[in-house]
Structure 1
Amino acid sequence: MEKPLPQVNLKLIQTFMLVARHSSFRLAAEQSFRSQSAISAQIRQLEDQLGVPLFIRTTRSVRLTPEGEELMERSRRAMHEVESGLRAIAERADARRGRVDLSCSPTIAGGRLAPILAAFDKAFPKVEVSVRELTFQAMYESIRRHEVDFGIGPCVPSGEFDFEVVLEDPLYALVPVALAGGRKQTIGLNALARMPLLMLNYATALRGSLEDAMTQRGLTWRTRYEFGQAHTLIATAAAGLGAAILPCVALPSHLPDELRQLRIVNPPMGRQIAIITSRGHKLSPASQKLVQLVRDRFSGHD
């Protein structure tokens, strides 16, 4: 039968590692705020339990024996595993409490955010979540100033930020039936430019990309009304006042009978929606949980 292992106190291993790290009983005593004699007594106790000497002591130096070197190497690995386990447990606990601050573009907030927040609140009821619904310039500024942990919105390439694309968001026109001309499902920029347009205001990245595309094709257009909220555009289009230009995420699940939903083509128009953070910024455990939920919901995995 194998000889039973000695019941070694973890405190003795910690003291042994401290002496080995400093190659000094005196420095180990100073680091641990104990007397040198107490350190020596603990090392003698450990050596007695193991039945081997761990240090070679002289008047000038303290160095490990071969058995001491082996114990030091294995103790390092064991302590690393213990520390990793404790850190993982603490991070899981942190994910169940704390606070998450995020900023979000209005079209995303209105179209996708509510069910994500509801699911997160159910899973992590002790985490406080603060949401800022901001235009894209203000959203990027809030991330730049570290006022929020992350943002959800359109990609605007910049070396200051990291982007994780979670959604391709095509652009649509909601056209009154009287202007739609049959039951087609797409519309080109040439046809769109001939209609009175209902647009999101200039504070949105979407507005700029659409107008740039029209300008590049030498098109002229008339913006009849502009608003800051998607539901206002939809209501105005349903009243027959023009074609509302909106991203897919902002479209209603049930379209009013007065409107046709036409995807913009020639060229296809759209944007990428991303999780946006300051470059190199590490998210808290609670923020990571919310980000994972955003990934799942936007990709349709949950």
Structure 2
Amino acid sequence: MRADFLGLQAFISIADRGSFRAAASHLNLSQTALSHRIRKLEESLGTPLFLRTTRQVSLTAAGTTLLPRARRVFEDLGQALDEVRADLCDADEQVSVGCLPTVAVHCMPAVIAAFAKRHPGIGVRVHDNSASEIADKVQLGEAEFGVTIVAANRWDLELKPVVKEPFVLVSHRDMPLAQAASLTWAQLQGEPLVRVSAETGNRILIDDALGPRREALIWRYEVQRVVTAVSLVRSQIGYAIVPQLALDVVDAGGLVAIPLRSPSITRTLGIVSRKSVPLRPAARDLLSLLSDQLKHSVANPGR
């Protein structure tokens, strides 16, 4: 049975005031309209809720049982509406964005600084997660958009490419390959390499591009995150193949990035958002700033 909220509202108002006339005045209704609401509610319940005399109105046993529960319904409804209003207020004061960790570290400081000048009253929440986690955040509405690897997409999300970022070999300056202007993958045979977990989109891109040739390489170490791979290189344990922007994840002092060829491997970074859900003006502005910064960072590595 559908809840009769108008009937319950009339019922509570009469019970609180002990009078149909006072309740009708409070609800800005005629007594006829109020009586109609109560009669409809009583008919749906199959029992009277009030005992009416010429002098007073009192609750029946059914009315006495219903009253605290009806109050609770309206209290819960009021609380829910307050929470929705609070969420909308918070949303107006903050923009949430998903971002790959390497992109977040390299691009977000400058982007947030520029955004803060344009929107001093609006905060930014950055979800620096993996590609799959970013898609989840956007899909659930926890992030308005995300910067992620362009790959197979979900049906209810829109993915727009922004820039191609090359993978590079990271070496410590004191290691043998550090002086090379560029390297082929064949030249890496026999060298100790650090690879990132197969759970990441980066690993999948490299494996697919190399095909069977990846088996000729010595993948001596495996880690979960790019930042850990770069840290191992700093300790001169081995070399790592990472996205170009990854060198900003840690202090790049003592490290060099060497271009790779035959084949050159890139990842396409793009913007993921929900289909048919327009971004708010502040979010659109943040997206524009982030896209411009991303293109600049890839075109001007190390700056």
TM-score bracket, shorter-length normalisation: 0.5 to 0.7
CA contact (8 A) 1:172 1:262 kept: yes
CA contact (8 A) 1:193 1:219 kept: no
Which residue is 1:281 aligned to?
277
Matches of 1:261 and 1:182, distance apart in 2: 8
Matches of 2:205 and 2:190, distance apart in 1: 18
CA contact (8 A) 2:244 2:257 kept: no
Name the CA shift for 1:108/1:193 in 2 (closer, same or farther; >3 Å): farther
Name the CA shift for 1:181/1:127 in 2 (closer, same or farther; >3 Å): closer
How is 1:226-237 mapped onto 2 (pairs within 5 angstroms)? 226-237=222-233
Q: Deviations over 1:51-100 (max 9, x none)?
A: xxxxxxxxxxxxxxxxxxxxxxxxxxxxxxxxxxxxxxxxxxx9x95321
Name the CA shift for 1:125/1:173 in 2 (closer, same or farther; >3 Å): same
Is it true that 1:148 corresponds to 2:148 in the alignment? Answer: no
2:102 paired residue among 101, 104, 107: 107
How is 1:235-246 mapped onto 2 (pairs within 5 angstroms)? 235-246=231-242
Name the CA shift for 1:167/1:114 in 2 (closer, same or farther; >3 Å): same
Matches of 1:204 and 1:97, distance apart in 2: 33
Give the Å deviation of 1:241.
Answer: 0.7
Give the Å deviation of 1:110.
Answer: 1.9
Structure-1-length-normalised TM-score: 0.61
Q: Deviations over 1:27-49 (max 9, x none)?
A: xxxxxxxxxxxxxxxxxxxxxxx
How is 1:10-159 mapped onto 2 (pairs within 5 angstroms)? 97-158=92-153
How many pairs were matched up?
A: 206
Matches of 2:296 and 2:214, distance apart in 1: 39
Whichever residue aligns with residue 272 of structure 1, its letter is T
Whichever residue aligns with residue 102 of structure 2, its letter is T
Q: Deviations over 1:164-199 (max 9, x none)?
A: 322211000112456544732222222234322112
Unmatched tracts of structure 1, length 5 or more: 1-93
Name the CA shift for 1:122/1:230 in 2 (closer, same or farther; >3 Å): farther
CA contact (8 A) 1:180 1:260 kept: no
CA contact (8 A) 1:176 1:237 kept: yes
Whichever residue aligns with residue 242 of structure 2, its letter is L
Which residue is 1:298 aligned to?
294
CA contact (8 A) 1:106 1:229 kept: no
Name the CA shift for 1:173/1:181 in 2 (closer, same or farther; >3 Å): closer
Give the Å deviation of 1:213.
Answer: 2.5
Give the Å deviation of 1:216.
Answer: 3.7
Name the CA shift for 1:180/1:166 in 2 (closer, same or farther; >3 Å): farther
Name the CA shift for 1:199/1:147 in 2 (closer, same or farther; >3 Å): same
Matches of 1:221 and 1:276, distance apart in 2: 34
Which residue is 2:301 aligned to?
none
Give the Å deviation of 1:206.
Answer: 0.6
CA contact (8 A) 1:174 1:243 kept: yes
Give the Å deviation of 1:221.
Answer: 3.0
Identity %: 22
Is it true that 1:206 corresponds to 2:208 in the alignment? Answer: no
Matches of 1:268 and 1:241, distance apart in 2: 24
2:170 paired residue among 170, 174, 180: 174
Give the Å deviation of 1:159.
Answer: 5.3
Whichever residue aligns with residue 226 of structure 1, its letter is E
Matches of 1:206 and 1:218, distance apart in 2: 14
